[in-house]
Amino acid sequence: MWDQSPISSRLQDVQSPRMSGRRLLVAIVDDEEPVRKALRRLFLSAGIDAVTFASGDEFLASMSTRRPDCAVLDLHLPGLSGLDVQERIAEAGIHLPTVIITGHDQAGVAERALAAGASTYLSKPLDDKVLLAAVAEAVGRAGQ
């Protein structure tokens, strides 16, 4: 059960009106299996459906059959980087709220990600509440 902190209240606000009877779906794209599993468990525990992908190519291929409400993209992926994935989505004319995560923060990358349309840029290790709030905010902005 959620406590009624501002973060959980925002998340509940996003889930109810925006989803019109269905749960929010978040795509997690990270090449580290333990990270994918942990984030999936976090989202499921918050009442959010989650699908995971080990690469940007795998995620992009899935977009033709199932479009998530938000994507959590690792910056450093094999093949396409998180920024490359974000750019391909934008080039396709798809507006998808995106949260970029990284374990290897580099100067200027956060600014580049945000300028390219990412809602948020977070460094690992991730704080659960901060990530949930970032997703809620990204989806909420997209729904306006």
Element (H, E) at 27: strand 25-29
Rounded to 5, what percent of the chain is helix, strand, coil? 45, 15, 40
Question: What is the reported pLDDT for 133?
Answer: 96
What is the domain class of 22-142 according to CATH?
A: alpha beta
Domain boundaries, the chain: 22-142
pTM for this model (two decimals): 0.84
Measured between alpha carbons, how far is 57 from 135 in angstroms, rounded to an integer? 22
Task: Give 3's pLDDT tier (boundaries 50, 70, 90).
Answer: very low
**Model confidence over 18-35: pLDDT tens digits?**
445 679 999 999 999 999
For residue 108, the model assigns a pLDDT of: 86
pLDDT at 19: 43
CA distance 99 to 130: 11
Q: How confident is the model over 66-121, as pLDDT tens digits?
A: 999 999 999 999 999 999 999 999 999 999 999 999 998 888 889 999 998 899 99
Cβ atoms 99, 70 nearer than 8 A: yes
Q: Tokens 């993209």 sit at which residue?
A: 73
